[in-house]
Amino acid sequence: MSKTLVYDTLTIPDPSFYDEQVKMFGFWYGMSNICVFPTKVSGTSAYQKSSGDAQTDHNILHLKHTTMLFDPKVRQLVNESSGVFQELQTNVEDPNKSTDALFYSRKYRAILSACILAIDQHNLDKSNETYNQYKLLLHNLELIWHLCEVLYLVTVPGDTILNNLLDWIKIHYEKAENQASMIIEDKTAYFTDEHVEEKFPFYWDAVFGLVLQGNTDMVRMLLCNHSQSDTESFVQAMKILKSMPTYSVYGGLPIAEYNSRFKGWQSSAKNKLDCGIFLSNSNLNDVMKIICGEPDSTDLIRKHCSTWFEFLVAQLIYTEPTIKKHNLSLNAHRSVAKYYDEPEYYHMDSLALDLFDGDLEAFVKKLKSYPDSGWSSTHLTNLLHLCDKIEPEFDMIDAVESTNPNEQYLLDYGTFLMSHHSLWQAGVTYLDHCSAIGKGYLSILLSKLEISSDLRISKILHYATARRLHNVVSSICKVKGMLSLQKSRIGEALCWAIRGQDSAFATYLGDMLLKEYSKGGQFICPDILDNLGSIVVTCDRFMFIGKYLQLIKLAKDEKLSEAASLYIEILRSNICPKYFRLRLLLDVLIFLNDNNECYFNTIDMSLITMRLDDAIMESNEDERFVDQFLLNQVSSIRKANTNYTCTLYGVWKCD
């Protein structure tokens, strides 16, 4: 159990902080890490001068927060609970399915128990202090969760809560029962008349423990095992235990009837106690004192309880067996006051007290500071919220508009998981259920995830696309594209531009490719250009490149007449970028130099001539686009044009 602290102080030791003048500056980096470095501050005028401490080291410290949930053994808790969470949310939205809060609460607890078990198996000799701590933390968590379940989720007819509380105590404090079974299973003592107390020094501890859990059957079995079990005092004690009336809602007894029976039973037992029947064995006498609900047995009970929860329930068995839920608060406060000598409450204590008080809001808020990084507060608040146990808008203030605490916890927990390199996908699940603001978080956090491996990027892109976060997709693709470009991998960059449907970036890369082609006469990444996909529709530059590639292919395959009509189409649509126009016009020679065939009619020829004139004019106006080699080619194009046109006319003249 831990004390509630407002905040915590961490001391950062480093020789760089050698005197008071050295300040520490802190920054956030990545998702949730802090970096601190030493520096000095003085008036602006003194800045320029060297501080003269060149000999000292200037260390930079990176602080990383590691928590229980990030431990490989505890990770199953995170993953499995996110599955249950997801299932619960979908069930709530589906009107055909009933949302049984108790069912889900037990599911969550089962995951907790499984996790504790897994830790145990990994740490059999209990030598790993870390795992011992984790186990304790998770165990306490299960205890408090179970209490919450017993008090708020289990429907108790008539509100007589004791039996449920007993179930709760029995599960979490099983030491006495384990000890008892050990004793009972050992038959030798029974048969050999050996003194069972000597063989099992914890014999009476077990008896007391069971009495305090109201487990009278087992107490009787233990008493049977005692060497004096046939003496009058033991026989009487077992008789009393056997006749103890037990209350059951379905037993048919009204509460008043039961109470009078219980009182009658207790007073008859008390008569026997007062007669001194049990004095022959002091321990047995103490047991009977407790059973009779004697006021001076309080200290006795306290001695045998390891926590005040046990203490509270043990007292109730023999003083107020039909206590109603709403009366628990007073008893709880009394118990905790009696149990502790000093009025000093621990975190767990105040959590349990809030539950007994019926103050779920306060409970949930305190649970938030439980050192499980918000696992419990998130899931429990969400569960209580969904089954209408807490108001969705408790304790709202202006500062956190449009978020209720349930959502606030989901946001915090989701963000926390997103900061882990492999748990981020679980984090997305929680942010998905946070209305509009969750989408804002997702959009920033998804794009901040490190994009180290391609598999990881595919996953991130998949998540972003499914949530229609197209800005995230295009941002990640652009970043990757720029990184490829930095390494001069234009083809790779183009792939990213295509993936991100980034036509501006694609245009830039297309320009690079075309300029490269004008220089070298070859495209650098033919495999990618063969599979351009939809980018040719969205990006003008690639519409041109696509057509141009087709043209080259046709020409290469000697399908010149098809190539020629495509060529004219390209010229007519005017989609060729300025700097490439001359280069494109140079390709006319493929067709004109072929003397065997006519590919163009006069209209085509005039278009070619017109484009040629335009291109030359442009290049005269704007020196930037001029390629001297191409300009030199102009005359040969013109010459071919003229020849060709003459031939055309010549052909007509012949007709």
Partner 1 sequence: MVEAHSINAEHKDLIHDVAFDYYGERMATCSTDQFVKVWDQDEQGNWNLTASWKAHSGSVWKVTWAHPEFGQVLATCSFDRTAAIWEEIIGESNEGGTLLRHWVRRANLVDSRTSVTDVKFGPKSFGLILATCSADGVMRIYEAPDAMNLAQWPLQHEVSLKNPSSCLTWNPLLSNFRMPNAMIAVGSDDNSNTTNSKVFICEYNEVSRRWAKTESVASVAHPVHDMIFAPNMGRSFYLLAVATNNVRILKLKPLTDATSGFPYTIETAAQFDDHYCTVWRVAWNVTGTVLASSGDDGCVRLWKSTVDTWKCVGVLKRDGKLPQPQSKTAQSTAQNNLTRFFKLGQITHPSEVHWH
Between residue 164 and residue 193, which ones bind partner 1 under the rule CB under 8 A?
none
| Residue 575 touches partner 1, criterion: CB under 8 A | no
d(CA 204, CA 224): 13
Quickly tell me which residue has 């008896």 as its tokens: 207
Shortest spacing between CB 125 and partner 1, in angstroms = 18
CA distances from 183 to 176, 194, 594 (A): 11, 12, 109
| Residue 416 touches partner 1, criterion: CB under 8 A | yes
Q: Residue 518's closest CA among 637, 638, 628, 639? A: 628
d(CA 497, CA 490): 10
CA distances from 218 to 224, 437, 495 (A): 10, 56, 73
Shortest spacing between CB 443 and partner 1, in angstroms = 8
Residue type, 509: L
| Residue 272 touches partner 1, criterion: CB under 8 A | no
Specify the stretch interacting with partner 1 by CB under 8 A; choose among 132-140, 156-164, 245-253, 348-356.
132-140
Shortest spacing between CB 576 and partner 1, in angstroms = 21
| Residue 454 touches partner 1, criterion: CB under 8 A | no
Whichever of 524 and 560 has its CB closer to partner 1, that residue is 524
Binding flags for partner 1, 362-391, as an x/- string (CB under 8 A): ---x--xx-x-xx-----------------
| Residue 642 touches partner 1, criterion: CB under 8 A | no
Helix (H) or strand (E) holding 216: helix 216-225
Whichever of 9 and 98 has its CB closer to partner 1, that residue is 9
Quickly tell me which residue has 């065997």 as its tokens: 596
Q: Are strands 23-29 and 33-39 parallel, antiparallel or unpaired?
A: antiparallel
Binding residues for partner 1 restricted to 30-89, rule: CB under 8 A: 30-41, 44, 47-48, 50-51, 53-54, 57-68
Specify the stretch interacting with partner 1 by CB under 8 A; choose among 142-150, 242-250, 409-417, 637-645.
409-417
| Residue 3 touches partner 1, criterion: CB under 8 A | yes
Shortest spacing between CB 496 and partner 1, in angstroms = 11
d(CA 626, CA 622): 8
CA dihedral (357, 359, 360, 366) positive or negative: negative
CB neighbour list of residue 374: distance below 8 Å, 6 or more residues apart: 368, 409, 412, 413, 416
CA dihedral (288, 294, 299, 305) positive or negative: positive
Which of 102, 156, 300, 479: binder of partner 1 (CB under 8 A)? 479
Whichever of 227 and 507 has its CB closer to partner 1, that residue is 507
| Residue 524 touches partner 1, criterion: CB under 8 A | no
Tokens of 25: 């500056």
Binding residues for partner 1 restricted to 330-349, rule: CB under 8 A: 347
Whichever of 256 and 436 has its CB closer to partner 1, that residue is 436
Tokens of 33: 């890490």
| Residue 401 touches partner 1, criterion: CB under 8 A | yes
Specify the stretch interacting with partner 1 by CB under 8 A; choose among 2-10, 254-262, 581-589, 604-612.
2-10
Shortest spacing between CB 575 and partner 1, in angstroms = 21
Which of 405, 427, 510, 577: binder of partner 1 (CB under 8 A)? 405
d(CA 628, CA 149): 84
| Residue 482 touches partner 1, criterion: CB under 8 A | yes
Shortest spacing between CB 586 and partner 1, in angstroms = 27
DSSP string, 97-148: S---HHHHHHHHHHHHHHHHHHHHHHTTT---HHHHHHHHHHHHHHHHHHHH
If binding means CB under 8 A, how many residues of this protein chain bind partner 1? 105
